[in-house]
Structure formats: structure tokens, C-alpha cells
Structure 1
Amino acid sequence: MPKRILQGTVVSDKNDKTVVVKVERRFAHPILQKTVRRSKKYKAHDENNQFKVGDVVSIQECAPISKDKRWTVVSAQA
């Protein structure tokens, strides 16, 4: 089964080897048919501490690394 890949923005890099990525999804409300935005924050593993706040990154599912970390940063977008 392929691992999920999400795209989001780094909102925190204060932890060692960890970044917090905010992923936003858009969908049509089932009743109102209005486009709704929902966001969620994921903790992702950043081995070299190379990503900074504001970077747009892709994260991929992985085996649990710690209590909250189940994602790794794959790459950064331009």
C-alpha cells in the first residue's frame, strides 16, 4: 500500500530534528456547497534541521519515530 504524501507549510522548527507542518485541505461543504478550508498540524522528522519556518515541504507517512511523529520530510518546493 503506498504511503500518503501531503504538502504543507513549516510553522515551527524549534524542536531538534522535528518540524511542525500545517497541511490545509479544501472541500465542498455537503449541505451548503461552499468551499471550506480545514487545516491540521503534523510533526515531521527533519534529520539535518534544514527546513525553516515558511518553507513549503512534502511529508510522507512512516513508522512511528516518537509519541507524536509519524511523518518524515521528503522534499521542499520552490
Structure 2
Amino acid sequence: MENTRNLRKSRVGVVVSDKMDKTIVVAIEHRVKHPLYKKIVTHTKKFKAHDELNEARVGDKVEIAETRPLSKDKCWRLVSIIEKAK
């Protein structure tokens, strides 16, 4: 049972909003080739993540990990800031 923490999902994305207290919105881009037209299509999904120290800013590249539900639509937490915004 000690390996269950390692099985949690992890994502890398860009912070698009930090206006809420202890919450950031992270946009994750998923690129996929259309099966018929062969064009690369970009799908963007937004996740709300818990940022305990309010350290992430808009434009930062961050890593988030799945956690228990913290609110109605927040079940991710900030793991690390990979790259600060310029």
C-alpha cells in the first residue's frame, strides 16, 4: 500500500490565473493528430490547483499532482515551479 502515492497523476502546465487565495488555474495542452484530416489539434484543459504559499504567478510553468478533493472543483496541488515567467 505504500506505493499508492506514486500512482497519482502528475501534469505539467502553465498558470493562467492566480487571482484566488491559495488557488491557481493551470492550463494543460494536449496535442493530438486528427484521425481523418491529419491536422495537429491542440486541446486545452484547465485545472484548479492548491497553492498553499501563493508562490506561483501567471505565466509560470508548474507541476501539479492529484490529491484528495479540497473543494467542489479543486483536487490538484502544486508540486513545484519548473520555470518562472519572464
Q: TM-score category by the smaller chain?
A: over 0.9
Distance 1:6 1:21 in 2: 9
TM-score computed with the length of structure 1 as normaliser: 0.94
- Cα distance in 1 between the residues matched to 2:14 and 2:8: 19
Give unpaired runs (5+ residues) of structure 1.
Answer: none
| Matching residue of 2:44 | 39
Aligned residues: 78
Question: What is the TM-score of this pair, normalised by structure 2?
Answer: 0.86
Q: Which has the higher helix share?
A: 2
* Distance in 2, Cα, partners of 1:69 & 1:44: 6
CA distance in 2, matches of 1:75, 1:31: 38
Using the aligned pairs only, state the percent identity: 50
In structure 2, distance between residues paired with 1:34 and 1:76 = 32
Q: Give the aligned CA root-mean-square deviation in angstroms.
A: 0.9
Q: Per the alignment, in what secondary structure is the counterpart of residue 42 of structure 2? A: strand
- Which ranges in structure 2 are unaligned for 5 or more consecutive residues? none
Task: Please identify the structure whose Cα radius of gyration is greater.
Answer: 2
Q: Which has the higher contact order (CA 8 A, sep 6+)?
A: 1
